[in-house]
Structure 1
Amino acid sequence: MDKGLNLNIDDKRSKLLATARTAGIWYLLMAISGILGFLILHSQVYSANPEQTLSNILEAETVARLRLLLELVIIVSQALTAIWFYRLFKSCNEWAALATAIWGTVNAVVIMVSAIAMGASIKIALSSQLLEDKIISIDVLSNVISNSWSVGGLFFGLWLIPLGYIITSSKRMPVWLGRTLIVGGVGYLLSTIINYSGVTTGSWTRILTLPATIGEFWMIGYLLIFGIRPVTKEN
């Protein structure tokens, strides 16, 4: 009986570890696609000047389409990460795990608006419309893209807070990892609110989201290397 019980426990631990590492893979894919798409390629296509954006799309259509494809990867990987986090953490705190999944999925939906605008901007740039009409349309779509990412910061912050709470309360991962994620989540919320408040800000607002970046890569590394700690009496 004890042998069978131990085998059952080992099987559950193995499945939980596989779930953790799968979540880590989706999270890593989201991070890579975000770095390549938003931080590297985005400025090569989309500019504050709509005429320059139009020129960039016409002269480097491949880059513009690659940027769009990476946006789709961000959306899919964000949604899958949210789902796998729910699977991983529902036994720790189902309510917080559900909140993490919901906010993560909502963030993916918000970024989907950006992807739709990107697809439309490429189509308009390559169309036979008058040049002035193209510039006006691309200006509007570029603003939709930038504002989708800005508003998405709210939901990205919201999904990090319950995620950090699960970690700190369950102690199934390093407590300071959870605290870093919570601080990072609050930082995203504050950064978004400040940016939309009309207050003139400098690059210092980026410091508010730095803990989130640290926490995310820490989380990815922990999931891929260690997975999740087993349940103990101390947990």
Structure 2
Amino acid sequence: MHLFNDPRSRGYARLTGAFYLFIAVFGFFSILWVPAQLLVPGDAAATFENILARRGLFLAGIGGEVAILIAEIMATALLYFMFKPVSAALSFAAALARLSMVGVMAAMLFFSAGALVLAEPGGALASFSEAQRLDLGNLFLGMHDAGVWIWQVFFTVHLAILGQLVARSGRFPRLLGHAMTLGSVGYLLDSLHKFALPEAAGLGTVTAVFLGIVTLAEVGFALWLVIRGPRPASTAMTQAAA
């Protein structure tokens, strides 16, 4: 437990980076890989057949999302105290934005659980016709997707602020911080593209560029925390003053 006591120590930074990498790995599995295996765009019947046939995988995806939420809470607290000396107000705002994202992600799990109930023909809604269950299930999955568009807005705010805290801290490479702030726009553009402007192919291309930047910046920051850690305080003060 002593690792939590000194936000300026290398051990504290490595712990924070470990949570960050944990989120990245489980996020790839639960948010990207599992849906790609089960969801068939535009075909609710095929989607629910896949969910029933691979029920264990669907539940593993939900379990992975729960693990992400726990890691997000820990990472949020660790990042807040790590960057509080840079700006208490901005660090708190970044933490609130990330916790708001966590709240939306938690609410999304209800729609995943509801979709599973609707996929089972002999379940609690057995009196519903197959067409009714498919329509409701498709609605639940759509609302789950809408949750992604919402939490990405909060995550944009978080990353934009966190990037500037990283750049201003003097303890981490400024390039990583500025790249996080710049790339954070990708999450906002992705929500705008998928929700309001799905036909705008050019916007999708621009979004992909910004998401590529922020992905490299976030992974780079996490690896820096784990492998290198923050610069010593005296060095950081010299860097910040430069």
Q: TM-score, normalised by structure 2?
A: 0.86
Q: In structure 1, give the amino acid aligned to 2:157.
A: L
Q: CA–CA distance in 1 between the matches of 2:71 and 2:140?
A: 24
Q: CA–CA distance in 1 between the matches of 2:39 and 2:148?
A: 13
Q: CA–CA distance in 2 between the matches of 1:194 and 1:133?
A: 30
Structure 1 residue 26: deviation in Å? 1.0
Question: Does the residue aligned with 1:198 lie in a helix, a strand or coil?
Answer: coil
Partner of 2:61: 67
Unmatched 5+ stretches in structure 2:
none
Structure 1 residue 146: deviation in Å? 1.0
Contact 2:13-2:229 within 8 A present in 1 as well: yes
Q: Does 1:44 align with 2:37?
A: yes
* Aligned sequence identity (%): 21
Runs of 4+ in 1 over 4 A off after TM superposition: 12-15
Deviations 1:30-87 (A, max 9, x none): 1001111122111222332211121111111111111111111222222221111002
Q: Does 1:113 align with 2:112?
A: no
Unmatched 5+ stretches in structure 1:
1-11
Q: CA–CA distance in 1 between the matches of 2:167 and 2:8?
A: 22
Contact 1:16-1:88 within 8 A present in 2 as well: no
Q: CA–CA distance in 1 between the matches of 2:232 and 2:6?
A: 7
Contact 2:7-2:81 within 8 A present in 1 as well: no
Question: Does the residue aligned with 1:92 lie in a helix, a strand or coil?
Answer: coil
Partner of 1:7: none
Matched pairs, number: 224
Return 76-85 or 173-182, whichever deviates more.
76-85
Partner of 2:218: 216
Q: Cα distance 1:23–1:193, how it changes in 2: closer, same or farther (>3 A)?
A: same
Q: In structure 1, give the amino acid aligned to 2:217.
A: G
Alignment of structure 1 residues 95-174 onto 2, 5 Å: 95-126=89-120, 127=123, 128=126, 129-174=128-173
RMSD: 1.8
Question: Does the residue aligned with 2:184 lie in a helix, a strand or coil?
Answer: helix
Q: In structure 2, give the amino acid aligned to 1:178.
A: G
Return 171-180 or 94-103, whichever deviates more.
94-103
Deviations 1:130-155 (A, max 9, x none): 31222011111110111111222111
Contact 2:112-2:144 within 8 A present in 1 as well: yes
Partner of 1:5: none
Q: CA–CA distance in 2 between the matches of 1:229 and 1:93?
A: 18
Partner of 2:49: 55
Q: CA–CA distance in 1 between the matches of 2:106 and 2:146?
A: 12
Partner of 1:6: none
Could you tell me which of 14, 18, 24 is aligned with 1:21? 14
Deviations 1:207-232 (A, max 9, x none): 22111101110011001012212222
Q: CA–CA distance in 1 between the matches of 2:220 and 2:154?
A: 20
Q: CA–CA distance in 2 between the matches of 1:222 and 1:27?
A: 11
Contact 2:6-2:12 within 8 A present in 1 as well: no
Could you tell me which of 28, 43, 65 is aligned with 1:35? 28
Q: Cα distance 1:183–1:63, how it changes in 2: closer, same or farther (>3 A)?
A: same
Structure 1 residue 15: deviation in Å? 6.1
Contact 1:20-1:223 within 8 A present in 2 as well: yes
